[in-house]
Structure 1
Amino acid sequence: MKPLVSVLTPAYNRAAFISEAVESVLNQTYDNIEYIVIDDGSTDDTYNILQEYEDTGRLRLLTHKNRQNRGQSASLNLGLKAATGDYIVILDSDDRLHQDKLQKQVEFLEQNPGIGMVYGQAMAIDEGGKELFPIPPDNHVEPGDPNRLLLDCYMALPGGAMVRKTVFDRVGFFEEDFRASQDHDMVIRLAEAAPFAYVKGTVFYYRKHDDTISSQGLERRWRAGFEILNRAATRYPYKRSTLRKRRALLHFRMGQVYWKQGNVGRSAIHILLAGFGDPVRAVNVILGVEKPN
């Protein structure tokens, strides 16, 4: 028997893209799939579109009680509780999978029983589907070190990875208190719990939108980043240099946010803390040698 793959898609107001995401799962070359879509209280036509798919028996549609909007983490947790597969894949509702993704990643994990998570490349696309660039770049090499992943946040869990259900069972659920950066929090917890690997090649298409995150949204993201870092430091023996450099990067990002908000004083404090925490990287950023991740 082929292993069962549970694919989870949290969906909120993505009527323009949800059919494309769903079809990319239903048209996989791998056929032993349990597809669970969680509508997070959509107010556009997303829920109606998903109901039509459910009526055909091609996916299972879940909602929160009274069709409340509870956020991506709560939606994914609802899906994880319902999932029965050997492997878990998460796909955002505006992205799409490469048709061979499940087949290739199942084969890899079946051949490498000591690996808990495998990921591949995303191909960034614009709103119309035009291909832009690969993420990570073609020269990417995975060191298999949680320190590197915590520091640079380079892996896309939604779309890019396939994870053994036993590893998810070990690390628990997504943190519902986070309304931003919950994916980064989960991926480093997974990396702490089991070895992970990278296989070059496009496995999904990541849609880049023209709309930008508000300064309030960015502030929420980087504040969550500090909490994620603090929790990581208590769970796993990260290098002190990793923790220091990640904290410096978060201060740099907060400095950018406050600068855009016109709060020069608070911005300066965070920029100074970033420089003290990682002076080499600070100089490289100033000189344009490196762009912070």
Structure 2
Amino acid sequence: MSRRPLVSVIVPSYNRVKYIEQTVDSAFSQSYSSIEIIIVDDGSTDGSFELLRRLEDSGRIKLLTHPSHENKGQSKSINLGLLHSSGEYISILDSDDFFAPHKIEQQVAFLEQSPDVGMVYGQGHAVDADGRFLFKVPDDNHAETSDPNILLLDCYMALPGGSLIRRSVFEKVGMFEESFRAGQDHDMALRIMEEFKVAFLPEVAFFYRKHGESISANGLETRWRTGMEILERARKRYPYRNRTIRKRKAVINYRLGQVYWKCGQKRRSIGYLIASGFLDPIRAGKVLLGSKS
């Protein structure tokens, strides 16, 4: 490429001392050199903040934190990084994930040649805590339709590290929703696709960790209740098909039913499971027959 636009890599970081250096290295060693790396520490207490300060002293990163080093959540951390970034393109990377070596170069080249596309994303490879391959998201046969209805039903993108987004997109759709402590990536992807064409570049873009640290029951409840709020906001913003709204409600009710069942709240669980069955009886039948989880 004759033009080398600046890319801002924004990393929200919280208590990832074991992984954060590899994350930074994967951005710093990209085959594309016109990059600024902005790390927003979200009140870490495990020594990762001190490690990041040393990386800042070496000139490798720009380090930001919230007032009084408070924990404010991932969305607020990403937004702080966005406000202090200068790049024409934005890439967001979780603090325990890492880029493929040519990710930025390939995606910048694609967007430079595709002015009608607001966001491009690639394939993510899930890895375990030691970096061993687990599975791919999306799979090798994936094709992007840029239809928000499909994305609302199933967040099939490996986000956020797999994508590259034009700064002008954020200027149109706004920042990450700071009231969400889960699902903010799905919410943002929907808002982008409602306004812009989105494309899939079939190259490995990044690697994301699947930890042994399981999400608590409270965390899962928060995730799916937030999912219902994301759905309601999406319905008010964009003319989604009624069938899409109904099927997504069915999935969320089913997942909440699962959460409450595992917590021993059987009566509460059954109410959500029945609601899910009424909203999408075909899917409910498949679940009962064991062909769908």
Structure-2 residue corresponding to 1:223:
225
**Aligned to 2:114, which of 96, 112, 115?**
112
Within-5 A mapping of 1:106-255: 106-255=108-257
Residue-by-residue CA offset, 1:6-29 (whole Å, 9 max, x unaligned) = 100000000000001000000000
SS at match of 1:159: coil
Gaps of 5+ in 2: none
SS at match of 1:219: helix
TM-score relative to the length of structure 1: 0.97
Structure-2 residue corresponding to 1:65:
67
CA distance in 1, matches of 2:287, 2:117: 35
Q: Are residues 1:88 and 2:55 paired?
A: no
Structure-2 residue corresponding to 1:36:
38
Number of matched pairs: 291
Aligned AA (1:52): R
State the shift of 1:199 in Å. 1.2
Aligned AA (2:106): K
Within-5 A mapping of 1:270-285: 270-285=272-287
TM-score relative to the length of structure 2: 0.97
State the shift of 1:288 in Å. 2.7
CA distance in 1, matches of 2:157, 2:284: 23
Residue-by-residue CA offset, 1:123-178 (whole Å, 9 max, x unaligned) = 11110011111111112121110100011111133111111110011111111111
Gaps of 5+ in 1: none
Residue-by-residue CA offset, 1:177-210 (whole Å, 9 max, x unaligned) = 1111111111111111201011112100010001
CA distance in 1, matches of 2:119, 2:210: 25
CA distance in 1, matches of 2:166, 2:284: 38
Aligned AA (2:86): T
CA distance in 2, matches of 1:109, 1:278: 39
Runs of 4+ aligned structure 1 residues displaced above 6 Å come to none
- Greater shift in the superposed pair: 88-97 or 184-193: 184-193
CA distance in 2, matches of 1:85, 1:288: 48
Percent of matched pairs sharing the same residue: 53
CA distance in 1, matches of 2:158, 2:285: 28
- Asked if structure 1 preserves the Cα contact closer than 8 Å seen for 2:138 and 2:158, the reply is no
State the shift of 1:106 in Å. 0.4
